[in-house]
């Protein structure tokens, strides 16, 4: 089979800006516990309170999102007391949008019972149509109680939340032990997920129970959640965890794919 022609259209290597955190011309921070966004607990009863200081660039030029147990900072949470955890969530909404192509992210997931690292995308029209009608593409998610399980999922009308369409792949190795390349080949009417170049899932409109809402622009997100509906209880011994991202790259595939800079 002939390999597709790839053209690099956008990249974040986190090694050439001289910054100590994500480039703010490209990235935004989500802050707080979700209450200000109308979704306390970020819609999943999560425990973290997002702060900008949780996303930094380390000495190895990795973007690191660090979750830490909160030991006294006054961060009132929706559950009636100070937030138990701080962490980070960044996204490109309103600054960079993508339509089709390959999204490739080299990352090392967080370890620890109750952690929930996520690399994902949302439809750029979320403010107009809401979730899940905007579409959500989960490039890669993990959970601390299943250290070798890779979650790859889409959410849309009639197939969202616990009914999202996707697959759980046991890769036989702990995702927090090393860096892996998580990617999607995203084309009109198809999305193919790969781990280190090997296909783990392919979906088309025939595979979902409602409208296919992915043939439109999306933006990128990366975050490290703690606790909540998806990943469950947090180990009382866990004090911190890190999601590390080496790079993010976006390519066109045989000429299909575009990136738009808005900010």
Q: How far apart are CA 66 and CA 87, in angstroms?
A: 6
Is residue 157's pLDDT more than 70?
A: yes
Taking phi first (over 0 means left), then psi (-120 to 50 degrees means alpha), and beta for anything else, what does residue 81 get? beta
The average confidence (pLDDT) of the chain is 97
pLDDT of res. 52: 98
Parse the chain into domains and list their residue ranges.
6-31+88-261
CATH number belonging to the domain at 6-31+88-261, selected among 3.40.50.300, 1.10.3430.10, 2.60.120.200, 3.40.605.10: 2.60.120.200
Say whether pLDDT at 174 is over 80.
yes
pLDDT for residue 170 is more than 70 = yes
Tens digit of each residue's pLDDT (9 = 90 or more) over 211-263: 999 999 999 999 999 999 999 999 999 999 999 999 999 999 999 999 999 97
Under the banding of pLDDT at 50, 70 and 90, the label for residue 15 is: confident
Q: What does 186-253 look like in DSSP terms, one character per residue?
A: EETTEEEEEETTEEEEEE-GGGSSS----SS-EEEEEEEEESSTTT-PPPTT--EEEEEEEEEEEEEE
Query: How many angstroms separate the CA atoms of 92 and 220, rounded?
Result: 6
> Is pLDDT of 210 > 90?
yes
Residues marked active site are found at 136, 141
User: So what's the pLDDT on residue 2?
Assistant: 84
Does the pLDDT at position 16 exceed 70? no
pLDDT band at residue 18 under the 50/70/90 scheme: low
What is the arithmetic mean of pLDDT over 140-157?
A: 98
Residue with tokens 């009608």: 133
Q: Are 209 and 224 in contact (CB under 8 A)?
A: no
Q: Which pLDDT score is estimated for 17?
A: 59
**Residues 6 or more apart whose Cβ sits within 8 Å of residue 38:** none
pLDDT in tens, 61-117: 999 999 999 998 999 999 999 999 999 999 999 999 999 999 999 999 999 999 999
208 torsion bin: left (phi>0), alpha (psi -120 to 50), beta (else): beta
Q: Tell me the pairing of strands 48-50 and 85-87.
A: parallel
Burial of 111 from C-beta contacts in 10 A (0-12 / 13-18 / 19+): middle
Please tell me the pTM assigned to this model: 0.98
| Coil/strand/helix, residue 82 | strand
Going by C-alpha positions, the residue among 115, 83, 119, 129 that lies closest to residue 195 is 119
């Amino acid at each position: 089979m002939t390999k597709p022609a790839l053209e690099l259209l956008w990249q974040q290597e986190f090694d050439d800006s001289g910054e100590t955190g994500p480039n703010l011309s490209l990235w935004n921070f989500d802050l707080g516990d979700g209450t200000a966004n109308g979704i306390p607990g970020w819609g999943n009863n999560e425990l973290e309170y997002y702060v900008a200081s949780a996303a930094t660039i380390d000495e190895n030029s990795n973007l690191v999102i660090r979750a830490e147990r909160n030991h006294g900072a006054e961060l009132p949470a929706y559950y009636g007391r100070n937030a138990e955890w701080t962490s980070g969530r960044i996204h490109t909404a309103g600054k960079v949008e993508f339509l089709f192509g390959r999204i490739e992210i080299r990352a090392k997931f967080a370890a620890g019972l109750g952690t929930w690292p996520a690399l994902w995308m949302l439809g750029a029209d979320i403010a107009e149509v809401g979730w899940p009608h905007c579409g959500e593409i989960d490039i890669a998610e993990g959970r601390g109680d299943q250290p070798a399980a890779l979650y790859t999922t889409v959410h849309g009308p009639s197939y969202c939340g616990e009914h999202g369409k996707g697959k759980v792949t046991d890769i036989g190795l702990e995702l927090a032990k090393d860096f892996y390349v998580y990617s999607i080949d995203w084309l009109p009417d198809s999305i193919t997920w790969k781990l280190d170049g090997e296909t783990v899932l392919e979906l088309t409109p025939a595979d979902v129970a409602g409208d296919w809402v992915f043939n439109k622009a999306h933006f990128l997100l990366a975050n490290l959640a703690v606790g909540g509906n998806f990943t469950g209880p947090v180990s009382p011994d866990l004090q911190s965890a890190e999601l590390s991202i080496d790079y993010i790259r976006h390519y066109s595939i045989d000429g299909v794919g575009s990136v738009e800079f808005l900010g």
